[in-house]
Amino acid sequence: MKAALLVEPGRVEIGEVPDPEPGPGEVRILVGGVGLCGSDISVFSGRWKAPSYPWIMGHEAFGIIEAVGPDVPSERIGQTVVVEPNAACFACDRCNRGVTSACVRRQSVGMNRPGALAELLVVPSRFAWSIADLPDTDLVCVEPATVVLAALRRLVTPLPNTALVVGLGAQGMMMSLALLDRGVAVYAQDINQDRVSFATDLGAVPAAAGSGRPFELVVDTVGSPSSMAVSLDRIEVGGTLLCLGLDSRPLELTAQALVRGQMIIQGSLTYDHPADFEATVAFVAAGRFAPGRIVSDEYPLESAQPAFERSGSTPGKTWLRIAGLS
């Protein structure tokens, strides 16, 4: 099969690799398209190490099941599916508590098992979710939508009438959409004004318009010391800071600010199996929520290199079309 291969940090080449074979409990998907997300870009740039080179990246995938492993019903062949790219072991303590997102033996497509930027992808059957025929851009955004919807499901405080979203990458855009869908007035903040304009087109208000006011809910999708400083500064007393950004640098926060602000700081990582994907698939299929609205750029697989290079500076999400499925 053809695949986009990361041959070294910063350089992708299109090459041929052997077709993967579905083992017991697995299905093989003819990949229709793959969205690029921040974690893929971290692997591309070398900030996160690939397990080996050449490496196949990508995890936000949809496609059609075209082969099944020995014990998987053949009725699955032909189904349009979206991929839940983090497979859990279902045996560790965390899995037993239902927190599969923190499984100690988590297998992540494109991170520690081969990624989706290829013509074929093998995943466990239960992690390939059958879904109605929807626009490709909606299908490619089901995974990032699930990250956001799971974060809102986990929220320990009720949703307020207004919220501030800090950082308008794909996660921030998707969070803005999800909050707007629930009737929350969203103020959006980013250092990139093109992203602020994109969020405004989706229905958010530029945060500068509400400058200075505190918010009962602040969502930080970046996690850098500078974005978290902005976020911590904007929380209303008793308010919640919901964190989605993965940044390993330490933050500046005093116990006094935490106590006086009576803050609730909550982190949320991906989603738990099976409830979160099940909910998103039903939600998107019902037509209530079109996550593909955050997409701005499409490339063919052959243009993976420029797609990766430019995706960091475009206002919306970038995706790669792989097979002409529809």
Q: Tokens representing 238?
A: 């008793």
Beta bridge partners of 129: 82
Residue number, 79 or 107, with CB nearest to Zn ion: 107
Cα separation of 115 and 109, whole Å?
5
Pick 107 or 224: Cβ nearer Zn ion: 107
Binding to Zn ion (CB under 5 A) within 22-61 occurs at 37
Contact segment (CB under 5 A) with Zn ion among 90-98, 154-162, 249-257, 284-292 equals 90-98
Tokens 């990508």 correspond to 58
CA–CA distance from 61 to each of 139, 147, 175, 176 (Å)? Answer: 8, 14, 20, 22
Q: How far is the CB of 233 from Zn ion (least distance, A)?
A: 28
Quick one: tokens of 254? 């005093």
Query: Considering the complex, what minimum distance in angstroms separates the CB of residue 110 from Zn ion?
Result: 9
Query: Which region, judged by CB under 5 A, interacts with Zn ion, from 42-50, 84-92, 123-131, 173-181?
Result: 84-92
Count of residues interacting with Zn ion (CB under 5 A):
6
Selected from 89, 208, 209, 282, the binder of Zn ion by CB under 5 A is: 89
Residues 166, 220 contacting (CB under 8 angstroms): yes
> Considering the rule CB under 5 A, would residue 92 count as an interface residue with Zn ion?
yes
Cα–Cα distance, 150 to 16 (Å, whole number): 37
Binding residue for Zn ion, selected from 95, 199, 241, 320, defined by CB under 5 A? 95
Give the list of residues 6+ apart from residue 140 with CB closer than 8 angstroms, or none.
33, 34, 35, 60, 61, 62, 292, 295, 317, 319
Q: Applying CB under 5 A, which part among 92-100, 127-135, 173-181, 266-274 lies near Zn ion?
A: 92-100
3-state secondary structure of 264: strand
Pick the stretch among 11-19, 103-111, 246-254, 311-319 that binds Zn ion (CB under 5 A).
103-111
| Position among 5, 36, 103, 173 found at the interface with Zn ion (CB under 5 A) | 103
What residues make contact with Zn ion under the rule CB under 5 A?
37, 88-89, 92, 95, 103
